Structure 1
């Protein structure tokens, strides 16, 4: 159910989507002591360039998918291979922002890679490995909106961000009272409301927004402002108490970055959007 909340100005994120020939994601060296024979991995099903999938079925409150694609998917597949799990033994589970902690707490997934920002409040409920990427919150607007040139021009506007996201929390914490905030469950719903003229801007990570703006149906219709105003470190969400697994995944992510696979995964998934790939973070810090 959509909620409207009065808040202050600002918000968004920018990344990208598309396909480019950016090199090859390598097969990782297996880590010692891996005990998984299969994995259930939570991803976004509706974030172009980051994580998309086609719904395959639903059972016991879990939605599974096929044809998974995106930077998070490539990252998750690399981690799985290093843990001894082949791609055909991965079950992709839809992990909308509102459901991520619940999926982990109820052990319906083994891990979540879903543009999942590491923060202290979430770390009270789950464990994080990473970060493996740092995005920045930005704004997605209609291309013909010449007045909305940045977050400083959001006074009196209506903004949209998915519920239970740091994008929504940032707006609520910093700009309450200056704008109205709509919070559906997914960013794809936000983008639809933007195209329909029901909201003035969508705010989340730049990489996600760039992915939507690069979709053929939105080219010439939407644009990312490109004025990032926050750091959003993406982590691998794990059930609380996964200390040993956190260490192993940080080791895997370090190899992912150092062997060129991280760069290749980003270029292949978001390179065509024109997104400028940043320097990689240091997992475990």
Structure 2
């Protein structure tokens, strides 16, 4: 059978496109950069050897899968509470999943998908502590929080104005100081505190006060104006709750701390 030159060219083109996946295969995409915390057990933790674990990490992987990215196409980048907005604005990451509480001040700089979790500000205490039972008890105490978080500001302005608040770069520094009795309490969201309390090295050493000092709705941060990505992430979050993955992620990461969590929240951002 005689094949025309044009037919041969077309056949070769089809073969090339087939071999390359027509350029749409997820393997041909650049890696998906996601901002997570590296020092929050139970939420976002980079373990020895480079493995990542935690509820936020599980959520991030689920969303990435729904966006068409296999686990080996994900690049986790460390974010701190004070630089999450900058990481998005300068395109260092595509989105941020890092115990990122939604508030109006942040929404002026970035957009959010979600929320996907509701936490409450609480206190982490040594198990021997008996003198701190309510927020007002902190007025004569020293406590630790992280620079850029809402917790320290909440203590200063609303809960215990006379407390001495030390702000540090990472939660691990607070844990060390609390363990060594350098300070009396650590304050941040109960999900973060539960993650630390559940660690094998900390079990039996700390307790949560069980206070609900604020409502913190965790959202996934995206660059301001990226409504397309926001919509896709919201769809992934809804699916995650519906298929039972959300509940599994909560139990996998907070179960050891007997953490009493809120149900999955209604998605309200970007509607």
TM (normalized to structure 2)?
0.85
Deviation at 1:91, TM superposition (A): 0.4
For structure 2, list consecutive stretches of 5 or more residues without a partner in the other structure.
1-25
1:172 aligns with 2:165: no
Among candidates 131, 144, 156, match of residue 147 of structure 1:
131
**Cα contact 2:125–2:184 (8 A) shared by 1:** yes
- Aligned-partner Cα distance in 2 for 1:264–1:45: 21
- Aligned-partner Cα distance in 2 for 1:89–1:116: 23
Q: Which runs of 4+ in 1 moved over 3 A?
A: 34-37
**Cα contact 1:44–1:51 (8 A) shared by 2:** yes
- Aligned-partner Cα distance in 2 for 1:159–1:108: 33
Match of 1:19 in 2: none
Tell me the number of residue pairs that the alignment of Structure 1 and Structure 2 aligns. Answer: 243
1:196 aligns with 2:180: yes
SS at match of 1:149: coil
- Aligned-partner Cα distance in 1 for 2:217–2:147: 18
- Aligned-partner Cα distance in 2 for 1:41–1:183: 26
1:257 aligns with 2:238: no
Per-residue CA deviations over 1:57-91 (Å, capped at 9, x if unaligned) read xxxxxxxxx31111101100010011111110000
**Cα contact 1:52–1:68 (8 A) shared by 2:** yes
Q: Which has the larger radius of gyration?
A: 2
Deviation at 1:275, TM superposition (A): 1.0
1:43 aligns with 2:36: yes
**Cα contact 2:115–2:267 (8 A) shared by 1:** yes
**Cα contact 2:135–2:159 (8 A) shared by 1:** no
**Cα contact 1:132–1:253 (8 A) shared by 2:** yes
SS at match of 2:201: helix
Deviation at 1:216, TM superposition (A): 2.1
- Aligned-partner Cα distance in 1 for 2:252–2:204: 22
Match of 1:74 in 2: 58
Deviation at 1:36, TM superposition (A): 5.8
Distance change (3 Å), C-alpha of 1:263 and 1:96: same
TM (normalized to structure 1)?
0.81
**Cα contact 1:37–1:84 (8 A) shared by 2:** no
SS at match of 1:276: coil
- Say which structure, 1 or 2, has more relative contact order (CA 8 Å, 6+ apart): 1
Deviation at 1:42, TM superposition (A): 0.8
Map 1:31-180; keep pairs closer than 5 Å. 37-54=30-47, 66-175=50-159, 177-180=161-164
Distance change (3 Å), C-alpha of 1:120 and 1:55: farther
